[in-house]
Amino acid sequence: MSLIIDCHGHYTTAPKALETWRNAQIAGIKDASLMPKAADLKISDDDIKETILANQLKLMKERGNDMTLFSPRASFMAHHIGDFNVSSTWAAICNELCYRVATLFPDNFVPVAMLPQSPGVDPKTCIPELEKCVNVYGAVGINLNPDPSGGHWTSPPLTDKHWYPIYEKMVEYDLPAMIHVSTSCNACFHTTGAHYLNADTTAFMQCLSGDLFKDFPTLKFLIPHGGGAVPYHWGRFRGLAQEMKKPLLEEHLLNNIFFDTCVYHQPGIDLLNKVIPVKNVLFASEMIGAVRGIDPQTGHYYDDTKRYIDASTQLSASDKAAIFEGNTRRVFSRLDTRLKKQGK
């Protein structure tokens, strides 16, 4: 029987002390006398256990999910706030918390790292935190924000050499990146309803327009939230690639780009799996995330995405096993190595 591996989880239920510390840090940007030290944040193991047992782990057990790849809360990354030093301290604190969750619950959580990105700052400044998270914390992936400005898109496209220092390190470690933006500070874009989905679609189109994977043939991107508009508009993207004289999308992008199942209704999941090859789809729920309520049409939580895969009539048993486990182990090779050492 397959492991059920959720490749997209965030510590959205972290103890209140984390938010309090962050608010003090933000206040300290304007008034240095208010800036807290990292050591001022006090969160005990019992505090962490309480938040996980009552939330993520409780729902995982109810829904039949075995393991979650766990990263800091995406909307809290807020790379547009402060400078690199602010982001660096904040990323280190958040990554350590996710590592502690994985240490306390080693059978259920595996860390994925956020990066200390900052608008206009060379991405190579993120390398020390990335290396620490892989070498010390055992992170199996990273979250890469293509828009650290928070909705103003001041960074170059993902195909630009601006990003190459991160890609070189990803290739060295065989580390996939989930392309995940953070809070929108642009009033035109609701964070989870527009900015996230815009970014998913934008990241795919940036990659389509360029030839990034000629330079990095083993680079792996995971585009979350079902790929934004991508599966729904697959014909548009195929046509645009054709007009740009690019290869067929299967050859041009689908050896390197993957999509998760954070799509919160059955027709959406069915469309995703009808359009995108099974080998490119990874199970995920982002539970206790953007959409936390119960669907009145089904009586179940919107983000209980395992139900949609289970209910699919177009996916074979082997397809479902690939989505639930096999594809994630292939894309996240460091996770696969870790699980094999555990005899899984």
3-class SS of residue 106: coil
Task: For residue 268, list its beta bridge partners.
Answer: none
Q: Which residue has the tokens 């019992």?
A: 46
3-class SS of residue 56: helix
Give the β-pairing of 5-11 and 142-144.
Answer: unpaired
User: Could you tell me the two tokens for 129?
Assistant: 């935190």
Task: For residue 71, list its beta bridge partners.
Answer: 10
- Residue (of 116, 103, 108) closest to 144 by Cα position: 116
Q: Which residue has the tokens 């209980």?
A: 304
Query: What's the helix, strand, coil split of the chain in %, to 5?
Result: 50, 10, 40
Q: Catalytic annotation on 286?
A: yes
Helix axes 127-135, 84-104, angle to 10 degrees: 10
User: Could you tell me the two tokens for 241?
Assistant: 């690639």
Q: Are the CB atoms for 226 and 260 separated by under 8 Å?
A: yes
Q: Which amino acid is at 46?
A: D
User: Could you tell me the two tokens for 274?
Assistant: 């009808």
- Of 96, 129, 286, 325, the catalytic one is 286
The catalytic residue positions are 286
